[in-house]
Amino acid sequence: MFTIISISILVVMIIALIRAILGPTLYDRILAVNVVGTKTVLLLSVLSVTAGRGDMVDIALVYALINFISVIAVLRFFEYNKEQQADVEQQ
Amino acid sequence: MDIFLNVLSWICLLAGGFLGITGAVGLFRFPDFFTRLHAASVTDTLSTFLIIIGLMLQANSLMMIIKLLLVLLIIAYTSPTSAHSLAKSALHSGLKPFLKDKENQNS
Amino acid sequence: MKQLLSLTVILAVFWLVNSGHYTPLLLGLGAISIGLILYLSRRMEHVDGEVEPSIVMSIHLPFYLFWLLVEIIKSNLDVVTRVWKGEAAISPTVFKVKASQKSDVCRVLYANSITMTPGTITLDIDGDTFEVHALSEEGKEGVLTGEMDKRVSKLER
């Protein structure tokens, strides 16, 4: 039964990865990567419950935080990049 | 009692998996970035809630239940923030939302 | 000062819940890391200048969260049916809505609640005006009735 859930999470990750490769705009790609990150957290939780070990949930916890920070950091990077480009164009 | 909890947790897990796949299908069926964001938020909220609650019913120690609750809380706190941040920087970089009626958009 | 105290309590509870080992060595390591984080957040305060503790203290909060959960489930089912019906079932709109909250914390809570319910997303915030993107006309009407706005404003008292 845990196998079915794991497979369905993996299917979602594959679909999101295809969206990340096809994605017409940059933001579609970041959104797809964010979905993959959330699903990774869930997959890690499912694995740790299957193994019956509480200490594996810590990895999922840390991954959730890393996923959040990385999405915000990438967005900040592109936002400032855009502003700098606009400044250069104005000059 | 044990069978009841098992059945409840399997229902939660299956519903969560189905909602996750629905969100992923929505990533393909919707026409532009902002509508896809709505589809992705389905996978972030109810699908995550259901899967984690299903796992909590299966967990074998109190420690694990508390940790899974923390995972749920962190996802619930961070997902609206990253969704808003994505939408805001997409809007500021000049991405126009797709609107249904083109007449209203022009007027 | 109030913020530092609440931060200390939250961090201590977080450490104790997550570690699960109560030996002197690990408790000492926890105390050291809490001290380090307090020092870092003091330094950040010079930059940020935020003094209020960012927690909403109200007896109405659990009721609000329960109501929000019900709303999230309802709008999730709505978005799921729209996904399977396809492009014909959606009519995306952008509109503006006024927030009646006074404090920044409650305004953030309102904007986050709008984003958290699928079907509506806060695009931009300008003072007390939110720019909201909705997946359908029903979602737009749901926000414009102002029920969520009233419920969040109730938390301020």
pLDDT digits (tens, 9 = 90+) for C100-127: 877 777 888 888 888 888 888 888 888 7
Closest CA of chain A from B103, distance in Å: 25
pLDDT score for B100: 65
- Is there a domain that residue C54 lies in? no
- Structure-token pair, residue B64: 């694990």
Percentages helix, strand, coil for chain A (3-state, rounded to 5) are 90, 0, 10
* Structural domain for C10, as ranges: 2-48
- Is there a domain that residue C89 lies in? yes
- Structure-token pair, residue A22: 């096809």
Say whether both C148 and C101 belong to one domain: yes
Percentage, residues of chain B above pLDDT 70: 93
Does the interface ipTM go beyond 0.90? Answer: no
- Is there a domain that residue C135 lies in? yes
Rounded CA separation C69/C62 (Å):
11
- Structure-token pair, residue C42: 């003091």
Say whether both C86 and C28 belong to one domain: no
Q: Is C13 on the interface with B (CB under 8 A)?
A: no
Summarize the confidence of residues C53-64 as an average pLDDT: 72
pLDDT score for B105: 47
Q: CB C18 to CB A54 under 8 A? A: no
Say whether both C43 and C76 belong to one domain: no
Does B19 score more than 80 pLDDT? yes
Q: CB B35 to CB C90 under 8 A? A: yes
Other C-beta atoms closer than 10 Å to the C-beta of A58 total 16
Say whether both C41 and C66 belong to one domain: no
Summarize the confidence of residues C14-31 as an average pLDDT: 85
Summarize the confidence of residues C33-50 as an average pLDDT: 79
Is residue C50 classed exposed, middle or buried when 0-12, 13-18 and 19+ CB atoms within 10 A define those classes?
Answer: exposed
Q: Which residue of B has its CA nearest to C81?
A: B22
Say whether both C98 and C72 belong to one domain: yes
Pairing of strands C120-126, C93-98: unpaired
Average pLDDT, chain C: 82
pLDDT band at C16 (very low <50, low <70, confident <90, very high): confident
Say whether both C100 and C127 belong to one domain: yes
**C-beta separation of A28 from B93 below 8 A:** no
Q: CB A79 to CB B93 under 8 A? A: yes
Which of the 8 DSSP states describes residue C101?
-
Average pLDDT, chain B: 83
Q: Which residue of B has its CA nearest to C93?
A: B99
Closest CA of chain C from B22, distance in Å: 7
Half-sphere exposure for C82 (CA within 13 Å, toward CB): 28
Does B46 score more than 90 pLDDT? no
Q: Is A8 on the interface with B (CB under 8 A)?
A: yes
Say whether both C40 and C65 belong to one domain: no
More confident residue, B99 or A21: A21
Say whether both C95 and C69 belong to one domain: yes
pLDDT score for B103: 43
pLDDT score for C110: 86
Other C-beta atoms closer than 10 Å to the C-beta of B27 total 26
Tally of domains within chain A: 1
Which of the 8 DSSP states describes residue A56?
G
pLDDT score for C130: 86
Output the CA angle A27-B17-B64, nearest 5 degrees: 100
Closest CA of chain C from A27, distance in Å: 14
Does B101 score more than 70 pLDDT? no
pLDDT digits (tens, 9 = 90+) for A30-80: 889 999 999 999 999 999 988 888 778 888 889 999 999 999 998 888 776
Tally of domains within chain C: 2
pLDDT score for C53: 53
More confident residue, A47 or B45: A47
Tally of domains within chain B: 1
Say whether both C99 and C65 belong to one domain: yes
Closest Cα to residue B47, out of C113, C70, A48, C80? C80
Q: Is C17 on the interface with A (CB under 8 A)?
A: no
Q: CB B25 to CB A30 under 8 A? A: no
Say whether both C35 and C109 belong to one domain: no
Helix (H) or strand (E) holding C93, with range, is strand C93-98
* Structural domain for A44, as ranges: 2-90
